[in-house]
């Protein structure tokens, strides 16, 4: 009974908003608030943070009463692998060049789907990497080295 709020949608939505609002207000303390006549850099974010907290409290309170549960399915595999392959892409773009970055991105993305056929993914990686190099590097003339550091 007492822990029922833990899977309620609006409780977490409210908490998320309060979190953002409070963080904004806390950080904005370091910026001059100023006055209405001369708005300082802290004026707008502090007020927005306050409004956000008010909305958050409101949503949380309404949500605790009505209580819609979180029902959406979430694939943990996609949630972890997809952003991770983006991070890898960014990292390899700087360290290794366009081709390795893209290959890693395509392979990582494909691996985050629920059907993973190794040969198909390998082929897809090769095709997409070459096609993107052709389209973006030669076609649109983006100035990225294909492979760095050799």
Partner 1 sequence: MELFHNLFFGFGVALTLQNLLYCFIGVFVGTLIGVLPGIGPMATIAMLLPLTYNVPPVAALIMLAGIYYGAQYGGSTTSILVNLPGETSSVVTCIDGYQMARQGRAGAALAIAAIGSFIAGTICTLIVAMFGPPLADMALKFGSPEYFSLMLMGLVAAAVLAQGDMIKSLAMVVLGLLLGVVGSDVDSGVKRFCFDIYELADGIGFVVIAVGVFAVGEIISNLSDPEERTIFTSRVGSLYPTLQDMKQSIAPIIRGTMLGAFFGVLPGTGPSIASFGSYMIEKKVAKDPSRFGHGAIEGVAGPEAANNADAQCKFIPMLTLGIPASGTMALMLGALMIHGITPGPTVMTQKPDLFWGLVASMWIGNLMLVVLNLPLVGLWVSLLKVPYRLLFPAIMVFSAIGIYSANNISFDVYLAALFGVFGIAWRILGCSPVPLLLGFVLGPMMEENLRRALQVSNGDPSVFVTQPISLAFIMVTVLILIVMVLPAVRNRRGDLTG
| Residues in touch with partner 1 (CB under 8 A) | 9-10, 12-13, 16-17, 20, 24, 27-28, 31-32, 35-41, 43-45, 48-49, 51-52, 55-56, 58-59, 62, 68, 70, 72-75, 77-79, 82-87, 89-91, 93-94, 102, 105-106, 109-110, 112-115, 124-125, 128, 132, 136, 140, 142
Least separation, in Å, of the C-beta of 97 and partner 1? 12
Least separation, in Å, of the C-beta of 4 and partner 1? 17
**How many C-beta atoms lie closer than 10 Å to residue 85's C-beta?**
19
Tokens of 61: 């309170």
**How many C-beta atoms lie closer than 10 Å to residue 49's C-beta?**
21
Least separation, in Å, of the C-beta of 8 and partner 1? 10
In three-state secondary structure terms, 31 is: coil
- Find the angle CA(78)-CA(80)-CA(81) to the nearest 5 degrees: 65
Least separation, in Å, of the C-beta of 25 and partner 1? 10
**Cα four-point dihedral sign 126, 127, 129, 130:** positive
- The smaller minimum CB distance to partner 1, of residues 127 and 150, is found at 127
Q: How far apart are CA 43 and CA 52, in angstroms?
A: 14
In three-state secondary structure terms, 93 is: helix
- The smaller minimum CB distance to partner 1, of residues 64 and 84, is found at 84
């Amino acid at each position: 009974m007492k822990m029922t709020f833990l899977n309620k949608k609006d409780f977490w939505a409210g908490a998320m908003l309060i979190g953002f609002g409070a963080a904004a207000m806390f950080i904005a303390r370091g910026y001059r608030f100023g006055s209405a006549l001369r708005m300082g850099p802290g004026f707008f974010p502090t007020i927005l943070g306050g409004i956000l907290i008010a909305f958050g409290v409101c949503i949380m309170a309404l949500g605790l009463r009505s209580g819609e549960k979180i029902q959406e399915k979430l694939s943990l595999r996609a949630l972890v692998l997809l952003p991770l392959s983006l991070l890898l892409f960014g990292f390899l773009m700087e360290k290794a060049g366009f081709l390795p970055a893209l290959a890693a991105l395509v392979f990582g993305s494909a691996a985050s789907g629920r059907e993973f056929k190794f040969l198909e993914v390998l082929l897809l990686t090769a095709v997409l990497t070459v096609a993107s190099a052709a389209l973006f590097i030669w076609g649109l003339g983006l100035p990225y080295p294909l492979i760095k550091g050799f």
